[in-house]
Structures are given as structure tokens and as C-alpha cells.
């Protein structure tokens, strides 16, 4: 074949791969894609936060769509496993209990050995850490897997004698959503999404958890009619520099009640810093709201959001949960980048200030102060305008 013909086939193969169809044998060879047809068991490793784990859920659907017989397990931090619980594409869900370190060196060692034993017993052929730390690489190496993905800078240990990964993933520096970044770990080994719908993060909380949330609401506010359409308002984030001032949220909620007549349920995480913020909001509220802040499990919160007609909140894990269950949402963004972390498939709900050239700066508050002026100056009227667009009045949700 002439060099021109080879270049043409290479370009055609790249277009096919980019469109979600199978790459040609030439493209697979050029990309050093391994033969995955003999891979029986794979382990996906993600030591990250709640929202990050949920955004990784499409990876399992895509991998199983290509290799239905492959057993795909997952390994995550305790406290995040709810995001993958019940996922039909996942075999075993391993959990690392990081709190074991609080019990001292011996307790931490026992937890590390327990986890390593579980990984070794898995007899994995392929390991895919989704973040760039060394822990995932070490577990992949100790698992005995012959195929090992690595993220970030290519590394060799012990003077080059040990190569912790067989295939390295290069991520874009910014503006690429984390759903796509996670999927890049599959693309690197030749597995491209076939259907855009496979990229949608999904939650699989049990119906019992949703009912438990409704029962809690009924216990807190017996007169609240859960047959009516309602909004879940979640004013906090695990990273509080992403949160809107309590006074601004209180004004928005007053307008949601007074102008639009929206029944509201207030939620938050149970962490002390989040509860302080909720307390500041409560002190400013002048309208009725059902307050279950800090009282729901993650699964119950997911079930409640699924039954809501609207979610209003910050750049946070519950925002991603709303997008995953298909609830219309309004999400306030400050210093973080919607292109990286926005709600998948719900970009129309993102509200930013728009008047700061530095936004998004990806910094924890102006100058690292934990306070962002792009959030301080964002008016409730601007957010209310987005709520008006997405709220559909009516008496029933189901």
C-alpha cells in the first residue's frame, strides 16, 4: 500500500472510532490497543468523591456493551459505594474503609491487607484506575493483571525495572467533562462508546430507599401533600467554597414560594460545616419549607430527588444525582468549570455570574480565601429566571 493509501485508511479509521463505531485493524494496531477478547475479569479503581464515582458509571455500561461476558468489578472509597450500588453492569463492589487509619497503624495495615487479598482473589486480567495516584497503580500491579491502564505521566519504578501500567492515558488539561475523561480510559485500550445514551450517568437506588425518604418527609411535615409537584433545594456542597451565600438562597426560596407557589423540601449532607450553613439559611427563611437537612442517606436522597419535579442546588454530588435520575435542575456554579463538572445532559440548568473574566478559575475562593466573589455577587433574580423556565406547575408528579 502506498503511503497516501495508508494515510487515508488511518484517517478513515480515526473518523469511525470517533463516531463511536469499531476502529479498523490498522487503527487498533496504530493505537497499540490490546486484544480484550480474552479478558475474563476486569477491575475499575476509583478512589474519589461521591460525584466523581457517579460520573464513572457510564464506563461500566460501555465496557459491558462491547464485552457482555466480561466480569467487571469496582473498587471505591467507603461512603461513595451508593453511587454504584445496584448497577447491573458491575459484578462485585469492593470498598476501601479509609477510616481504618483512625484506628492506628495496625488497623490500617489490616484493612490494606484485606483489600489486597480481595483484589488478588479476583484474578483480574485488566485493571483500570481512573485517577492519577499511585495507589491504583500499585493495586493493579499486585493484582497480577497482565493489562494495566495508568493515568497521567508515564512512570517507571526501581530504575525502570517495573512498569506499573501497560497502557497510559493522556487527559486533556481542561474543558473535557469527567464523564469523557473516565471513558478515555477505555478509549485508550480501543473501547469506544457505540451509543451516546451509554454516556449518561445512572443511579440504581432501591425503591425502598425512595419510600423511606417519603416516609421521613411525611413524619416531619404530616400536612405536606407528596402528590403535588415539589422541589428539592440542596444549598450545600462538600466543598463549601462552591456554596451560594445563605442570604441569597433565602431570597430565592422566598420568590419560589411567593411568585411560583413551589412546595420545597430542604436537604443537605450531615457534615458539621454543611449543617452550620443550613442553620444560617434557616435563620433567614420567611417561607414554609420541609426541613430534612442532614437526615437522609445518599440512597434516600437519590430517591427523593427522583420523585421531585425540580432540583435547585450547587455544583455538588446531589446535582449529579439529579441529572442521573432525569430530574430538571438549576445548578449554581462559581469558581468550578461547568465544562469539566457540569450536570451531564442538563447544561441548560447551569447558572453562573457571567461578569467575571476569571470565571471559572478552579480555585477554592478568590486567592484561596474559600470565598468567591462570583458567588457573592450572583443575584437571586438571575437564578429565579432559570427556575421560571424549568418549573412546570401542576398537581401531580407521577
Q: In this predicted model, what pLDDT tens digit does every residue of 75-115 receive, in sequence order?
A: 999 999 999 999 999 999 999 998 887 788 898 899 999 99
Quote the percentage of the chain above a pLDDT of 70: 93
Let me know if residue 71 belongs to a domain. yes
Q: Which of residues 199, 222, 243 is at a domain's end?
A: 199
Is the model's pLDDT at 238 over the cut of 60? Answer: yes
Q: What values do phi and psi take at 75, rounded to 5?
A: -135, 120
Query: Do residues 322 and 343 lie in contact, with contact meaning Cβ atoms separated by under 8 Å?
Result: yes
Three-class SS of residue 351? strand
Q: Which of residues 147, 174, 199 is at a domain's end?
A: 199
* Better pLDDT: 395 or 273: 273
Burial class (CB in 10 A: 0-12, 13-18, 19+), 333: buried
Shared domain check, 309 and 370: yes
Parent domain of 97: 32-199
What CA–CA distance (Å, rounded) separates 153 from 245? 39
The order of strands in the sheet holding 310-314 is: 290-291, 264-266, 231-234, 310-314, 329-332, 350-351
Three-class SS of residue 248? helix
* Better pLDDT: 9 or 363: 363
Instruction: Supply the pTM of this predicted model.
Output: 0.89
Shared domain check, 258 and 175: no
CATH number, residue 350: 3.40.50.2000
Predicted confidence band of residue 160 (pLDDT cuts 50, 70, 90): confident
What CA–CA distance (Å, rounded) separates 366 from 363? 7
Let me know if residue 4 belongs to a domain. no
Which residues contact residue 374 at a Cβ distance below 8 angstroms, ignoring those fewer than 6 apart?
334, 335, 352, 353, 355, 356, 358, 359
Mind listing the pLDDT tens digit for each residue in 176-219? 999 999 999 999 999 999 999 999 999 999 999 999 999 999 99
Shared domain check, 186 and 106: yes
Let me know if residue 20 belongs to a domain. no
Let me know if residue 166 belongs to a domain. yes
Let me know if residue 162 belongs to a domain. yes
Predicted confidence band of residue 395 (pLDDT cuts 50, 70, 90): low
Shared domain check, 221 and 183: no
Shared domain check, 287 and 189: no
Let me know if residue 92 belongs to a domain. yes
Closest by Cα among 140, 257, 333 to 266: 257
Let me know if residue 337 belongs to a domain. yes
Which residues contact residue 174 at a Cβ distance below 8 angstroms, ignoring those fewer than 6 apart?
337, 339, 340, 362
Q: Which of residues 199, 217, 237 is at a domain's end?
A: 199
Shared domain check, 161 and 216: no
Shared domain check, 238 and 127: no
Let me know if residue 21 belongs to a domain. no
Shared domain check, 247 and 147: no
The pLDDT assigned to 21 comes to 57
Shared domain check, 255 and 181: no
Shared domain check, 247 and 148: no
Is the model's pLDDT at 225 over the cut of 50? Answer: yes
Say how many domains are in the chain. Answer: 2
* 49: Cα separation from own chain's centroid: 8
Shared domain check, 272 and 160: no
Predicted confidence band of residue 3 (pLDDT cuts 50, 70, 90): very low
Three-class SS of residue 147? strand
Shared domain check, 216 and 164: no
Amino acid at each position: 500500500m502506498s503511503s497516501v493509501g495508508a494515510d487515508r485508511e488511518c484517517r478513515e479509521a480515526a473518523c469511525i472510532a470517533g463516531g463511536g463505531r469499531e476502529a479498523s485493524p490498522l487503527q487498533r494496531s496504530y493505537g497499540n490497543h490490546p486484544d480484550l477478547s480474552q479478558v475474563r475479569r476486569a477491575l475499575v479503581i476509583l478512589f474519589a468523591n461521591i460525584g466523581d464515582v457517579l460520573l464513572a458509571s457510564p464506563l461500566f455500561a460501555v465496557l459491558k456493551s462491547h464485552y457482555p461476558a466480561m466480569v467487571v468489578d469496582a473498587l471505591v472509597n467507603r461512603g461513595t459505594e451508593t453511587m454504584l450500588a445496584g448497577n447491573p453492569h458491575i459484578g462485585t463492589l469492593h470498598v476501601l474503609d479509609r477510616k481504618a487509619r483512625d484506628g492506628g497503624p495496625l488497623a490500617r495495615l489490616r484493612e490494606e491487607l484485606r483489600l489486597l487479598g480481595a483484589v488478588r482473589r479476583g484474578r483480574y486480567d485488566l485493571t483500570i484506575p481512573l485517577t492519577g495516584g499511585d495507589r491504583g497503580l500499585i493495586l493493579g500491579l499486585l493484582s497480577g493483571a497482565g493489562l494495566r491502564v495508568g493515568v497521567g505521566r508515564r512512570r517507571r519504578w526501581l530504575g525502570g525495572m517495573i512498569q506499573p501500567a501497560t497502557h497510559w492515558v493522556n487527559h486533556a488539561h481542561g474543558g473535557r467533562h469527567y464523564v469523557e475523561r473516565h471513558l478515555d480510559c477505555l478509549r485508550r485500550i480501543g473501547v469506544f462508546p457505540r451509543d451516546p445514551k451509554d454516556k449518561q450517568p445512572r443511579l440504581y437506588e432501591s425503591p425502598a430507599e425512595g419510600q423511606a425518604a417519603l416516609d421521613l418527609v411525611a413524619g416531619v411535615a404530616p400536612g405536606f401533600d407528596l402528590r403535588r409537584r415539589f422541589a428539592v433545594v440542596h444549598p450545600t456542597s462538600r466543598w463549601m467554597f462552591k456554596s451560594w451565600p445563605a442570604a441569597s438562597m433565602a431570597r430565592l426560596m422566598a420568590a419560589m414560594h411567593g411568585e411560583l407557589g413551589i412546595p420545597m423540601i430542604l436537604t443537605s449532607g450531615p457534615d458539621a460545616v454543611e449543617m452550620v450553613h443550613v442553620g444560617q439559611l434557616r435563620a433567614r427563611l420567611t417561607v414554609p419549607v420541609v426541613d430534612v437537612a442532614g437526615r437522609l442517606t445518599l440512597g434516600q436522597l437519590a430517591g427523593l430527588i427522583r420523585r421531585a419535579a425540580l432540583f435547585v442546588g450547587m455544583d455538588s454530588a446531589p446535582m449529579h444525582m439529579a441529572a442521573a435520575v432525569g430530574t430538571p435542575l438549576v445548578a449554581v456554579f462559581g469558581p468550578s468549570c461547568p465544562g469539566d463538572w457540569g450536570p451531564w445532559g442538563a447544561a441548560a440548568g447551569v447558572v453562573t455570574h457571567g461578569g467575571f473574566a476569571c470565571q471559572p478559575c478552579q480555585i477554592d475562593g478568590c486567592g484561596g480565601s474559600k470565598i468567591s466573589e462570583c458567588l457573592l455577587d450572583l443575584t437571586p433574580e438571575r437564578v429565579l429566571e432559570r427556575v421560571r423556565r424549568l418549573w412546570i406547575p401542576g398537581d401531580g408528579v407521577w
